[in-house]
Structure 1
Amino acid sequence: MPRIELRTVIKANKEIVFDLSRSIDLHKISTVQTNEEAIAGKTSGLIGLNESVTWRAKHFGIYQKLTSKVTEFDRPNYFADEMVSGAFSEFKHEHHFADLNGGTLMTDFFDYKSPIGILGKLADKLFLEKYMTELLVERNRIVKEFAETEKWKNVIT
């Protein structure tokens, strides 16, 4: 099972970074390249414990649906979301937040299992792990951009 691990240093308050990371509205902004939209469950605002969202997005030229649920929540230090249904066999995305020199260290652990057995493992090696990493890096870039400017006030009310 591949594990993507990212660390992002953000010059902003941990509470702001935490809330931006669970914002449905900011997620939509960070995934504009895949036309991602929330179509069921929590479709705007801040997602919380035991809440789910169903996303519709275009990946590899095909529209797909994925439902994830927040299964662990400790504001403003940690939350995790896990796939309930979708293209992967399974995935869990852990979001960790720690104070760092007046800012925040945001650490992501994204564990996933591709479907289709050996073909899924081959897809991981050839392109999927890189693709997922790039999506997460872009998401974190947007979280950082909003947190380090006044833009966060347009997303968190």
Structure 2
Amino acid sequence: MSTIHLTTVINSEIHKVFDLARDIDLHQKSTSKTNEKAIAGRTSGMIELNETVTWRAKHLGFYQTHQSKIIEMEKPYRFTDVMLKGRFKSFRHQHLFKKEDQNTIMTDILEFESPFGIIGQLFNYFFLKNYMKKFLLERNKMIKNTAENNRINS
């Protein structure tokens, strides 16, 4: 199992950051490099508790689908999504939000496991964990820019 723990400080109101983090349209803009599109379930707007979204994106040269479901939500402090169908053996992403002075501290805890036993573990260690971290950093950069500047940077 691999775990990525990221913290992003955003100079914006907690409700705004929380909503941007679950905005399907903003997510698609932040993942334009992988041509990620919501193709089933919730495909635009803000995802809610017990809703699903199926993503289609080109990762590592191949188009893949990933279906996730929001299994926990406490507005505006946290929500958690888990993979229902996809390439991972397991995938759980916790999104945590905390107000600190005029800032919102946004924390991502992503836990995932690849299939294929030891080969999957080696792939995680040598490549996938860093790839996923960069993917999240791009997404968080767009959330931060949008929240702080009221604009979306492409």
Q: Which category of TM-score, normalised to the shorter sequence, fits these structures? A: over 0.9
- Displacement of 1:100 in angstroms is 1.2
- Give deviations 1:110-131, integer Å, cap 9, x for gaps: 0001111111001011100000
In the alignment, what sits opposite 1:106? Answer: 106
TM-score by length of 1: 0.95
Could you say which residue in structure 2 is the equivalent of 1:76? 76
**Is residue 51 of structure 1 aligned with residue 41 of structure 2?**
no
The letter for the 1-side match of 2:149 is: T
Is the partner of 1:65 in helix, strand or coil?
strand
TM-score, length-scaled by structure 2: 0.97
User: Are residues 1:12 and 2:16 paired?
Assistant: no
SS in 1 for 2:6: strand
1:62-141, aligned counterparts within 5 Å? 62-141=62-141
| Alpha-carbon distance, 1:2 to partner | 0.7
Deviation at 1:103, TM superposition (A): 1.3
SS in 1 for 2:7: strand
Structure 1, unaligned runs of 5 or more: 153-157
**Matching residue's letter, 2:64:** Q
Off by >2 Å, runs of 4+ in structure 1: none
CA RMSD of aligned residues (A): 0.8
Identity of aligned residues (%): 49
The residue type paired with residue 98 of structure 1 is K
**Offset of 1:149 from its aligned partner?**
1.1
Unaligned runs of 5+ in 2: none
